[in-house]
Amino acid sequence: MSLYSFVRDFTFSQAPQHTRVLLQTCLLDILGVAAGARDNQTSQALKRYAVNHYPAGVWSSRLLFDGRPVHPLGAAWAGGFSVDSLDAHEGHFTSKGHAGATVVPALLALVDACREQGRAISGEELLSALCIGYETALRAGVALMATAPEYHASGAFSGLGVVCAGARLLGLDEQTFRHALGIAEYFGPRCPMMRLVDHPSMLRDAHGAGAHAGLNALLLAQAGVTGAPAETVETTAVEAQWQDLGQRWEIDAQYFKPWPVCRWAQPALTAMTALLAEHPQIRGEAVERIQVETFHESMRLQGHVPANADEAQYALAFPLAALVARGQVGPLEVTGEAIHAADILAVSQRIEIVEADDLSARFPSEILSRVSVVLKDGQRFDSPITAAKGDPATAMSPADFSAKFHLLAGVSLSQQRRLAIEQTIAELPGSVSCAALFELLFVAEGAASLPAPSLQKEFAV
């Protein structure tokens, strides 16, 4: 199947059952991250930026969990940056990146703009576009990894998924679609990801830039700007990445993060969670020292005394200390006042992170860590070699995803609203309109009367 045929003809109901369930899970997961990030420093800065520099015009979208109208390009910048600012979104092995943190905020901005112009979009059509966006973004990432030597941030490729999803919604003809892909690839931010790992900042994984690049490419192509071909789509060197489109699903290979920190820190947190459950005597004040043996890239995270939320989330020592000191790692443990909390820092200073050659040799096909804890009374506890929870082989359960959603979104949304969002997403495939979901997503908390989840109804635009 050609890429254009897939974009034009695919419907959500054609995907395998497992993939459909996973896609709805992805949407809930990303929205939980966005809600958890709503009020942090990065999100607030980008919303101000969007309001000041991207006023609504012919096209108008509302800011996520805010409601203020801006141009879709401003909403894409703000939405991508916001989701990226809380490092809890799903990822993908072979692209070494993420799709949803770009595709979901960009697509929601585009759909909100279409709805503002009076167009009704069904739940099935929204999910079809999201599925197209995820699948093509991930394949573009694999193609980029196969043809470019550097490790690039996700925004370098995820904008192509935005183009594919947006082309479906806007009904672009094939030639305009090719030009949009070429523009998105050409203007995509090929950001040096390891620089960000070594020097964390608000730029993160470039999802805001990818979301902007994708929507901007659609609008430029519609205006008649040429840009084809996209090399990561059309050259013979990447044929293998696209030839089984619609038959095999990269979406199925995604991993999910139980905690809002770098993927490479997750195995150590998984190992420590098991130790805490088995040995309740492990408490912050009882710890003499903790050693983490891990692969080289994870060892580089370090992060014992972060200066800000970006450093705290691109760290290993600090979130691991938060888990020991407070029993959980959510938004409130890696942002705001917690960054300088004495109880967390006291444990963090007792953590040693070292490279283990045997674990480095198994990277990147496996990301593994092992953890040892010594208490002040001399007791010692050792974990086995541990993979991160949330991989396809160590999958999170529906209950895990629900708990994560409520933990993250609970910092900004009421329980009533969170339950309504969960139920509305579950009902999307049979919904004649996505309007009910959008009225839950594009208003500030308390700005609208929310029906109880059992009374949620779909209504036409």
The full length of the chain comes to 461
On whether both 94 and 192 belong to a single domain, the answer is yes
**How far is the C-alpha of 321 from the C-alpha of 338, rounded, in Å?**
11
Q: Assess whether pLDDT exceeds 50 at residue 11.
A: yes
Does residue 447 surpass a pLDDT of 80?
no
Same domain? 300 vs 225 = no
Range of the domain at 370: 263-389
Judge whether 412 and 445 are in contact, CB under 8 Å: yes
Given 325, 354, 389, which residue is the final one in a domain? 389
- Please give the DSSP secondary-structure letter assigned to residue 330: S
- Model confidence band, residue 446 (pLDDT cutoffs 50, 70, 90): low
pLDDT for res 239: 95
- Point out which residues pair with 380 in neighbouring strands: 374
| Residue 447 in domain | no
pLDDT band at 449 (very low <50, low <70, confident <90, very high): very low
Residues 246, 297 share a domain: no
Q: Give yes or no: residues 77 and 220 share one domain.
A: yes
Average the pLDDT over 236-245 and give the result.
Answer: 95
Range in 194-208, 319-333, 345-359 with the lowest mean pLDDT: 194-208
Would the pLDDT of 460 be above 60?
Answer: no
Q: Is residue 416 part of a domain?
A: no
Contact 15/134 with Cβ under 8 angstroms? no
CA distance 58 to 235: 36
Contacts of 373 (CB under 8 A, 6+ apart): 272, 275, 279, 282, 287, 289, 290, 380, 381, 382
Which of left, alpha, beta for 269 (phi over 0: left; psi -120 to 50: alpha)?
Answer: alpha
Q: Looking at the structure, do residues 107 and 35 belong to the same domain, yes or no?
A: yes
Q: Answer yes or no: is pLDDT of 237 > 70.
A: yes
Question: How far apart (Å, rounded) are the C-alpha atoms in residues 424 and 426?
Answer: 5
Nearest CA to 458 out of 424, 420, 408 is that of 424
Over residues 297-318, mean pLDDT: 93
Q: How far is CA 271 from CA 22, 118, 183, 290, 389, in A?
A: 25, 51, 44, 12, 9
- CATH value at residue 7: 1.10.4100.10
Please enumerate, as own/partner, the contacts of 358-363 that have beta carbons within 8 Å and a separation of 24 or more: 359/293, 359/294, 359/295, 359/385, 360/295, 360/296, 362/295, 363/295, 363/296, 363/297
Tell me the HSE value of 265 on the side-chain side, using a 13 A CA sphere.
Answer: 27
Cis check for the bond before 192: say yes or no (omega within 30 of 0). no
What is the DSSP track for 414-443? -HHHHHHHHHHHHTGGG-S-SHHHHHHHSS
Q: What single-letter amino acid sits at 317?
A: A
79 vs 65: CA distance, rounded Å: 10
Q: Are residues 275 and 245 in the same domain?
A: no
Look at residues 195, 227, 255 and tell me which one is the last residue of a structural domain.
255
- Average pLDDT of 380-389? 97
pLDDT tens digits for 412-427?
A: 999 999 999 999 999 9
Q: Is residue 32 situated within a structural domain?
A: yes
Is the Cβ–Cβ distance between 255 and 25 less than 8 Å?
no
Q: Do 141 and 219 reside in the same domain of the chain?
A: yes
Q: Is the dihedral of CA 7, 13, 16, 20 positive or negative?
A: positive
Confidence label for 348 from pLDDT (cuts 50, 70 and 90) = very high
408 is a domain residue:
no
Place of tokens 């141009």: 71
**Residue 436 domain-assigned?**
no
Same-domain pairing of 199 and 90 = yes
Do 244 and 348 share a domain, yes or no? Answer: no
Q: Which amino acid type is present at position 123?
A: G
Which whole number is the average pLDDT over 21-37? 97
In this predicted structure, the answer to whether residue 455 has a pLDDT above a threshold of 50 is no
In the chain, how long is the greatest CA-to-CA distance? 72
Whether residue 12 lies inside any domain: the answer is yes
- 182-232, pLDDT tens digit by residue? 999 999 988 888 888 788 889 999 999 999 999 999 999 999 999 999 999
Whether residue 125 is found in the same domain as residue 57 = yes
Residues 79 and 34 in one domain: yes
Indicate if 230 and 350 belong to the same structural domain: no
Q: Say if 203 falls within a structural domain.
A: yes
Total domains, the chain: 2
Q: Are 461 and 435 in contact (CB under 8 A)?
A: yes
pLDDT in tens, 78-102: 999 999 999 999 999 888 889 999 9
Last-in-domain residue among 255, 286, 320: 255
Alpha-carbon Rg for the chain, nearest whole angstrom, is 22
Give CA–CA dist 36/85, Å, rounded: 10
pLDDT in tens, 142-180: 999 989 878 899 999 999 999 999 999 999 999 999 999
Contacts of residue 432, defined as CB under 8 A and 6 or more positions apart, other chains included, come to 120, 122, 123, 458, 460
We report the CATH number of the domain holding residue 319 as 3.30.1330.120
SS3 395: coil
Looking at the domain assignment, is residue 455 inside a domain?
no
